[in-house]
């Protein structure tokens, strides 16, 4: 096991991280180790990024389908009808 020393500019950051770690039933060391592992594991991070983007596209398309509404008004057939005056 290798040791790593980190100097933080904001003392309260460590306290906040410790609270998050306790809530997740882990340690700050384990959270930092997990972060570094995810940062350096390019195969899963690239795959998960592609999957995340695909999921976002699908969610956006679904919102278009479910939230789109007819805007009303006359349905113009051609340009001449668009500018026709009564």
Q: Which of 15, 18, 39, 38 is nearest to 27 (CA)?
A: 18
59-78 residue pLDDT tens:
999 998 888 877 776 666 77
Ranges of beta strands (E only) in 1-86 are none
pLDDT higher than 70, residue 43: no
Q: What is the pTM of this model?
A: 0.47
> Quick check: 41 and 33 in contact, CB under 8 A?
no
Residue 57 has pLDDT above 90, yes or no: yes
Whether 51 shows a pLDDT value over 80: the answer reads yes
């Amino acid at each position: 096991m290798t040791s790593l020393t980190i100097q933080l500019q904001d003392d309260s950051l460590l306290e906040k991280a410790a609270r998050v770690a306790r809530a997740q039933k882990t340690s700050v060391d384990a959270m930092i180790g997990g972060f570094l592992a995810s940062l350096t594991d390019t195969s899963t991070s690239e795959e998960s990024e592609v999957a995340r983007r695909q999921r976002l596209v699908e969610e956006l398309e679904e919102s278009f389908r479910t939230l789109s509404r007819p805007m009303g008004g006359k349905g113009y057939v051609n340009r001449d009808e668009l500018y026709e005056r009564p």
